[in-house]
Amino acid sequence: AQSVTQLDSQVPVFEEAPVELRCNYSSSVSVYLFWYVQYPNQGLQLLLKYLSGSTLVKGINGFEAEFNKSQTSFHLRKPSVHISDTAEYFCAVSSVGYDKIIFGKGTRLHILP
């Protein structure tokens, strides 16, 4: 069975500064990895996904993530955040073979002016 851990429940960062949201996973088989964003009072929106191929994945709104198999990590990064990036971010994993998706507990990104 797979699991996913988001190491930080909250991350404060100044506007226009870079940010990294950390995600580690555990699985005995190959995985698919996802990052979702949830803005206040909305559903979750897919930011980006890793299925196979290049380990650097680019998503919407300037976000990117790097799949590191040896570290079993899939950290999300953005070089310069904006106040509109204030949201909760969820990392998710599913095993190849189409087992259900497992979500992390989420990381709240607070943008400081």
Name the residues that contact another protein, by CB under 8 A: 32, 34, 36, 42-46, 49, 90, 94-103, 105-106
Name the minimum Å distance from CB 7 to another protein. Answer: 15
**Shortest approach of another protein to residue 97 CB, angstroms?**
7
Q: How far is the CB of 65 from another protein (least distance, A)?
A: 14
Instruction: At 4, list the tokens.
Output: 């996913």
Closer CB to another protein, residue 32 or residue 67?
A: 32
Tokens of residue 14, six digits:
């100044």
Is the CB of 9 or the CB of 71 nearer to another protein? 9
Compare residues 70 and 98 and give the one whose CB is closer to another protein: 98
Query: In angstroms, what is the minimal distance from the CB of 92 to another protein?
Result: 8
